[in-house]
Amino acid sequence: MVQKIVILDFGSQTTQLIGRRVRELNIYSEIIPYHKYPYGREAEEGIIGVILSGSPLSVYDKDAFRVDLDRLLGRVPVLGICYGAQLMAYSLGGAVEPAPSREYGRALLEWTDGTSPLLEGIGQGAQVWMSHGDTITRLPEGFKVIASTADVRFAAFASESQPVWGVQFHPEVFHSTCGMQLLRNFAVGICGARCDWSAESFIETTVAELRSTLGDDKVVLGLSGGVDSTVAAVLLARAIGDRLTCIFVDHGMLRLNEFHDVLAEYKKLGLNVLGVDASDKFFADLAGVTDPEKKRKIIGADFVEVFDREAHKLEGVRWLAQGTIYPDCIESLSITGTVIKSHHNVGGLPERMNLRLCEPLRLLFKDEVRAVGRALGIPDSLIGRHPFPGPGLAVRILGEVTREKVAVLQQADHIFISGLRREGLYDKVWQAGVILLPVQSVGVMGDERTYERAVALRAVTSTDAMTADWAHLPYEFLASVSNEIINKVKGVNRVCYDISSKPPATIEWE
Ligand code: XMP
């Protein structure tokens, strides 16, 4: 049976990070809103430990998020982090008060109990990261302090009779240099995790589950060329073979040769894939449309229509598979305690198609999807691809989208992306592309005056696309790309480089 650590979410910004860190220890973790702990023998099966997250609230607030600790403690080992630690201290009879000054950033840990299993292997003076406005001023009876910092007396504490622990700092953040060791001590040393959750074990259990859930049913899946749908398809194909049919729709706004190249790669992977060139419909419906959101809506609706039509030509399909991943599914809490669920799906397909939904990657973070993809033998040319927006080049052509503009942009984009690959820069940036601007400017080529289009190069570094910085690409490289575009792409006589970060800009221009 798969062992898991449950993280009860009290609304902290770093809750997801706790889940990630536990996964990095090859232990499966699940993030659950604080009030949804699955009490009951069957539902609790496999749970070997619980972590209580931080929160933007104060434990003494009238509307603070609370759990019934009497029901929780004693069932499994529990580690409270920041608010989680304060909640335990406060609820069990200790005291929590506003700190004289808010405590943010670096602090050095001095342990007072060198024998504590939570602190094993952590040296005196280890750096931890604090972020709290309240502080514990008295521990409940039966608890003892195991580490302090210069400003925080109860930086880490333990129950004397139960496997219950609290830390005021955030072991999950990068700057807590002993954080991984502490989480390992909890998960492995205290909870007894086997650390056997890996890409290979995920594939093995998921393939078995898919076979038993899907039986002899047929499944349809929309491929986009992106990592998530590709990995979902190969995983499903391993489970049910040709009973999976993939549909790859070409809306005409993909990169140069992408439809054919990616289709060929899919076929090499042994996928049963149907390529559908629907570009005429997309271009016709986009004619005259300049508003970015309208463009997106039209492309989304057209995609659903085309996919639905093609899927209906297949016989006996019972399931729609999607490459939805964990961050799309986590139910996160707003400060009011409302559960926010931003469940991603492809432009309303599930609602329209009346098929059962199969999402084999819904438990994985993005880098885990990549690891699974590699373990499935998917080549790096597909796994390491930059993200690319669903509406494709349509949102990189400011204003109306036409075939002629797409052709110009495809060439410029091809020069930029090939250059990044050639110079070993492709994997150093999160995402890159070219934007076709709706302006013309004067230039001179030979002895001729020109009045042609301008393009902007965009390359960003990021870890999750939520924030991004412009990539500091070498000037020589930018100069050579600019030269090549102006010399080779007819209709372009000026190249700019976008040096805006996100926020306040966004990665795409539309
Ligand atoms: P922004 O421009 O919001 O982009 O900073 C963040 C990430 O999302 C991608 N993106 C999209 N992806 N459909 C998609 O599937 C869209 O309409 C869309 N708009 C932006 C963008 O490429 C970047 O990776």
Q: Which of 507, 509, 510 to mutate to test the pocket of ligand 1 (most atoms within 8 A of CB)?
A: 507
- What span, in angstroms and rounded, lies between the C-alpha atoms of 454 and 361? 41
pLDDT of residue 396: 98
Q: 48: CA distance to ligand 1 center in Å?
A: 38
Q: 507: CA distance to ligand 1 center in Å?
A: 7
Q: Is 465 in the pocket of ligand 1 (CB under 6 A)?
A: yes
Counting from 1 in the atom list of ligand 1, the atom nearest the Cα of 390 is: 15
- Side chain identity, residue 343: H
The residue from 170, 178, 251, 368 that is catalytic is 170
* Residue 315 appears among annotated catalytic residues: no
Mean pLDDT by 10 residues, the chain (510 residues): 94 92 95 93 94 96 94 95 98 94 86 92 95 94 96 96 97 93 98 96 96 97 94 98 97 97 95 98 98 94 94 94 86 75 60 88 91 96 93 97 98 98 97 97 91 98 86 98 97 97 92
pLDDT of residue 263: 96
pLDDT of residue 352: 78
Q: Which of 346, 398, 462, 508 to mutate to test the pocket of ligand 1 (most atoms within 8 A of CB)?
A: 508
Q: Is 498 in the pocket of ligand 1 (CB under 6 A)?
A: no
For 132-146, what is each residue's pLDDT tens digit? 889 999 999 999 999
Q: 432: CA distance to ligand 1 center in Å?
A: 12
Counting from 1 in the atom list of ligand 1, the atom nearest the Cα of 509 is: 2
Can you say whether the dihedral through the CA atoms of 27, 33, 34, 39 is positive or negative? Answer: negative
Secondary structure (DSSP) of 350-365: HHHH--EEE-TTTT--
Residue 78 Cα distances to 2, 5, 412, angstroms: 19, 10, 55
Q: 490: CA distance to ligand 1 center in Å?
A: 28
- What span, in angstroms and rounded, lies between the C-alpha atoms of 145 and 159? 9
Residue with CA at minimum distance from ligand 1 atom 18: 389
pLDDT of residue 413: 98
Q: Is 296 in the pocket of ligand 1 (CB under 6 A)?
A: yes
Torsion of CA 289, 290, 294, 300, to 10 degrees: 70
- What span, in angstroms and rounded, lies between the C-alpha atoms of 65 and 11? 9
pLDDT of residue 8: 97
* Residue 172 appears among annotated catalytic residues: yes
pLDDT of residue 105: 87
Q: 387: CA distance to ligand 1 center in Å?
A: 8
Q: Is 385 in the pocket of ligand 1 (CB under 6 A)?
A: no
State the DSSP code for 489.
S
Residue 363 Cα distances to 21, 51, 338, 368, angstroms: 15, 18, 22, 9
Residue with CA at minimum distance from ligand 1 atom 12: 389
Q: Is 162 in the pocket of ligand 1 (CB under 6 A)?
A: no
Q: 424: CA distance to ligand 1 center in Å?
A: 24
Counting from 1 in the atom list of ligand 1, the atom nearest the Cα of 431 is: 24
Neighbour-count burial of 271, counting CB atoms closer than 10 A to its CB (0-12 exposed, 13-18 middle, 19+ buried): buried
- Side chain identity, residue 469: D
pLDDT of residue 346: 53
Q: Is 225 in the pocket of ligand 1 (CB under 6 A)?
A: no
For 266-325, what is each residue's pLDDT tens digit? 999 999 999 999 999 999 999 999 999 999 999 999 999 999 999 999 999 999 999 999
Residue with CA at minimum distance from ligand 1 atom 9: 389
Q: Is 292 in the pocket of ligand 1 (CB under 6 A)?
A: no
Taking alpha carbons only, the member of 373, 75, 358 closest to residue 219 is 358
Residue with CA at minimum distance from ligand 1 atom 6: 465
Counting from 1 in the atom list of ligand 1, the atom nearest the Cα of 296 is: 17
The residue from 103, 172, 310, 510 that is catalytic is 172
Question: Is the preceding omega at residue 503 within 30 degrees of 0, hence cis?
Answer: yes
Q: Is 33 in the pocket of ligand 1 (CB under 6 A)?
A: no
Q: Is 387 in the pocket of ligand 1 (CB under 6 A)?
A: yes
- What span, in angstroms and rounded, lies between the C-alpha atoms of 429 and 75? 46
Secondary structure (DSSP) of 140-204: PTTEEEEEE-SS-S-SEEEESSSSEEEESS-TTSTT-TTHHHHHHIIIIIIT-------HHHHHH
* Residue 265 appears among annotated catalytic residues: no
Q: Is 390 in the pocket of ligand 1 (CB under 6 A)?
A: yes
pLDDT of residue 309: 94
pLDDT of residue 343: 53
Residue 155 CB: number of other CB atoms within 10 A?
A: 27
